[in-house]
């Protein structure tokens, strides 16, 4: 399984995987905007035939945006096709994105939202990657479910 930076030609497959895996979906304009604006921090996992089986879509928020005081990365969406789960792909996708956020953009931390019922994703973020719950956002999702707003500080090498 190969993991590489996402390219514009991957966006249709990334959107298709997102539709299959999550109820939070986005118009193509949103995917293109992210890929064009922050081209080094979104990644795909591909099988031996080059088919996209997982992705992470991320953005950078500058001080002042979204009430933030520090430059940071934000993971909009990550998912892995069902038959490719528990192979460590999401972990690898997240680590590559986090590293690029810190090295290329000087991001101080990475944030994301996750449904409080999403045990697999919370396991990935909290237990494997070391994220912590910064706050609970009540009724964040369209169906009324609460979100954990999670954060991880990023280490800087230079």
CB-nearer residue toward ligand ACO: 102 or 114: 114
77 binds ligand ACO (CB under 6 A): yes
- Least distance (Å) between residue 158 CB and ligand ACO: 28
CA 140 to chain centre: 17
- Least distance (Å) between residue 133 CB and ligand ACO: 13
The piece of 28-36, 65-73, 75-83, 131-139 that touches ligand ACO (CB under 6 A) is: 75-83
CB 101 within 8 A of CB 60: yes
151 binds ligand ACO (CB under 6 A): no
State the greatest distance between any 2 C-alpha atoms of the chain, in Å, as a whole number. Answer: 43
Binds ligand ACO by CB under 6 A, chosen from 5, 22, 71, 133: 22
CB 55 within 8 A of CB 43: yes
DSSP bridge partners of 83: none
44 binds ligand ACO (CB under 6 A): no
Binds ligand ACO by CB under 6 A, chosen from 1, 123, 132, 139: 123
Strand order in the sheet with 132-137: 2-5, 43-46, 52-61, 72-80, 109-115, 147-153, 132-137
The piece of 35-43, 65-73, 85-93, 101-109 that touches ligand ACO (CB under 6 A) is: 85-93
CA 52 to CA 8: how far, in whole Å? 13
List residues binding ligand ACO (CB under 6 A). 21-22, 75, 77-80, 85-91, 112-114, 118-121, 123-124, 127-128
């Amino acid at each position: 399984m190969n993991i590489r930076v996402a390219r514009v030609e991957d966006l249709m497959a990334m959107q298709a995987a997102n539709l299959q895996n999550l109820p939070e979906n986005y118009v193509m304009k949103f995917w293109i905007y992210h890929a064009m604006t922050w081209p080094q921090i979104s990644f795909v996992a591909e099988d031996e035939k080059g088919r996209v089986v997982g992705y992470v879509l991320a953005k950078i928020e500058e001080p002042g945006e979204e009430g933030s005081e520090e430059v940071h990365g934000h993971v909009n969406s990550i998912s892995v096709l069902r038959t490719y789960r528990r192979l460590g792909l999401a972990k690898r996708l997240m680590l590559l994105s986090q590293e690029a956020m810190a090295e290329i953009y000087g991001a101080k931390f990475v944030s994301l939202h996750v449904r409080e019922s999403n045990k697999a994703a919370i396991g990935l973020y909290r237990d494997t990657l070391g994220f912590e719950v910064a706050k609970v956002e009540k009724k964040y999702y369209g169906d009324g479910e609460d979100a954990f707003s999670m954060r991880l500080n990023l280490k800087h090498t230079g």
